Structure 1
Amino acid sequence: MASHIPVLDFNEFHNPATRAAFGKRLVEVFCSTGFVYLKNHGVDQQLIDAAFQASKDFFTSPIENKKKYSRPTGFDANAGYVCQGMERLNAFLDKEHETIEVREAYNFLPFDLARVPPALPLATFTRLFHASWELTKKIFDCLAVGLDLPVADLFQRSHALVGQRGNPTTLRTLWYPPVDGDAGAKDHFTRCGTHSDYGTLTLLYQDDVGGLEVENRKDEFVPATPMPGCVLVNVADLLQRWTTDKLRSTRHRVGFSGNVANQARQSMAFFVHPDDNYVIRCLDGSEKYPPISAGEYLQERFKQTY
């Protein structure tokens, strides 16, 4: 898998002598693959582990308890528990061979705390949210260099409200419960349907259980094997639109590849979005895609999912 998704050392960002070359290389990877592993990314592993353990405690509690903290059914709020079956991400659903997506999630937004369960420590998830945002800002700096943006802080300015009302950037913790029977699981169930992400970037923290698959240039899905100490970063749809398809938002899915159907799996995704009122226009001035506010774009995508 390392031959498909490159591994880059983020220490090169911190070295002034290598920062520009690192930015160019990151853009090259995002143009070709859309995914990259970053090592030495700076997010505390103990903090990540603590969030994983708290998530496990919450997701393994009784369903009646979890539903007390459910995400609202409309599109005006996104924070809260998402039970199995509440959303579908498979963009190519075959009605005659319908699969069930076996997945639960909890969406954390620092400004919407009405549905935070006691099992998910507020301090832990707030720290992880902000640590992920600090890393994202550095990635934005790299992209500004790699894309030769005339306005170096464009991405940061368009995400000025991250962590505040008016920006939907979300830390999502995911739980994939075990499914009995590998053969049956592969025929009738999946963990996450084929999709691409909605916003600007996604940062993904994985446990050591496999299952994530990424589509390569040959339209083949290949394993994105968890790599200890690395965060997996990918381009999302709005950034592809923003860069007039220069950066590639790659389809991916989570299935039962290997022998993992009877194992629970965890991951945490930091979904980065521009501010709701920010209008996205093609950076090259081509208007291949019409201008659209980031909030309007996200609402359109949510309507396809929920």
Structure 2
Amino acid sequence: MGSISGTDVAQASVVNIPIVDLGPFSSPSSTAEERRVAAEALVRACRDVGFVYIQNHGVSQEELDEAFRVSKNFYDLPREEKMKAPHPPGWAVHRGYSWPGLEKVSNILSKTDDEESVKQLREVQDFKESYEVGSDNNPNQPNVWPPGDVMPEWRPSMTSFYWTCFEAGKRILRALALGIGLDEDHLLGYHSGDYNQLRLLHYPPIPAEAVEGGKFARMPAHTDWSTMTMLFQDDCGGLQVEDPRRPGEFIDAPPIPGTLVMNVGDLLMRWSNGE
């Protein structure tokens, strides 16, 4: 896969997820034209595919390595230790540790939310675990932290990484706004940094036949409700993207060193009038 410019993205095959370089949004020597070309490349990729690899996103490899290291240390803990920072009951607050089977991801909206519909949906469990972190300034989503004697490095490390990711997000939001034809800071006015979500995901080992036989799933196909999602992968892979021109067919999105994968969320789709 090669880097794709603003003039190339529209012609790119959808089986190849575009790669866009946002370097012009970090270099003070970049010209307005260079920023515009990069911004339009990003928007074209978002419109034509919905997913895009981003180079020069602003999160260093050292910071990513540290985040993955700390995350692994947490997931290597015994379950009883992880359960000392449990996800709160119910669906409203997304913080803390979610154990395998707690969350069920679905793109099916039930009009009734009756118990039978929920029961049928949960017959195939999602076999994964996650930990969700946010800003301590968000009164509606209070953080849930492991006790200091369980994992003292978790809170400072993940708090720092949360704000590092927001700085990268600001770069992408500026490019999106400019590429759509708005003032570069337009979308930033709606993103304070206090209402984002950092999610650390882990997929424990499971026999292949348990997934192939339909007893368990990993993360079923879905859209994200947010403005956008920035996804950092390790070297395991597994991410797939539905082909927008061939519904039901999925494209592998393997890890590419030095990039993140960004996808459009439902909110950005609405804000841009489906653009």
Name the TM-score class by shorter chain. Answer: 0.7 to 0.9
**Partner in structure 2 of residue 240 of structure 1:** 269
C-alpha distance in 2 between matches for 1:240 and 1:65: 40
**Partner in structure 2 of residue 159 of structure 1:** 191
C-alpha distance in 1 between matches for 2:144 and 2:199: 16
Task: Using the aligned pairs only, state the percent identity.
Answer: 34
Matched, 1:55 2:84: no
Matched, 1:225 2:254: yes
Secondary structure (helix, strand or coil) at the match of 2:240 reads: strand
Matched, 1:103 2:132: no
User: Aligned pair in 2 of structure 1 residues 117, 10: CA closer, same or farther (>3 Å)?
Assistant: farther
Please point out which of 197, 218, 227 is paired with 1:200. 227
C-alpha distance in 2 between matches for 1:197 and 1:92: 13
Secondary structure (helix, strand or coil) at the match of 1:47 reads: helix
**Partner in structure 2 of residue 184 of structure 1:** 210
Matched letter for residue 88 of structure 1: K
Q: Could you tell me how far 1:122 is from its partner in structure 2?
A: 2.3
108-117 or 92-101, larger mean C-alpha shift: 92-101
Task: List alignment gaps of at least 5 residues for structure 2.
Answer: 3-14, 110-116, 137-141
C-alpha distance in 2 between matches for 1:90 and 1:53: 29
Deviations 1:50-78 (A, max 9, x none): 11111111112111111110111134532
Q: Could you tell me how far 1:31 is from its partner in structure 2?
A: 0.4
Deviations 1:140-182 (A, max 9, x none): 1111111112x4422111112x13xxx2x111100100112x2
C-alpha distance in 2 between matches for 1:128 and 1:43: 9
The answer to whether the 8 Å contact 2:42/2:175 transfers is: yes
**Partner in structure 1 of residue 20 of structure 2:** 8
Secondary structure (helix, strand or coil) at the match of 1:23 reads: helix
Secondary structure (helix, strand or coil) at the match of 1:69 reads: coil
**Partner in structure 2 of residue 19 of structure 1:** 35
If each structure's strand is expressed as a fraction of its own residues, which one has the higher value? 1
Q: After TM superposition, what 4+ stretches of structure 1 lie above 6 angstroms from structure 2?
A: none
Q: Please tell me the root mean square deviation across aligned C-alpha atoms, in Å.
A: 2.3
C-alpha distance in 1 between matches for 2:17 and 2:124: 28
C-alpha distance in 1 between matches for 2:67 and 2:46: 28
User: Aligned pair in 2 of structure 1 residues 96, 61: CA closer, same or farther (>3 Å)?
Assistant: closer
Please point out which of 86, 89, 99 is paired with 1:83. 99
97-106 or 171-180, larger mean C-alpha shift: 97-106
TM-score by length of 2: 0.80
**Partner in structure 2 of residue 258 of structure 1:** none
C-alpha distance in 1 between matches for 2:90 and 2:190: 25
TM-score by length of 1: 0.72
- Pairing 1:212-291 to 2, within 5 Å after superposition: 212-217=239-244, 218-219=246-247, 220-246=249-275
Q: Could you tell me how far 1:233 is from its partner in structure 2?
A: 0.8
The answer to whether the 8 Å contact 1:4/1:33 transfers is: no
**Partner in structure 1 of residue 6 of structure 2:** none
**Partner in structure 1 of residue 145 of structure 2:** 115
The answer to whether the 8 Å contact 2:175/2:184 transfers is: no
93-102 or 209-218, larger mean C-alpha shift: 93-102
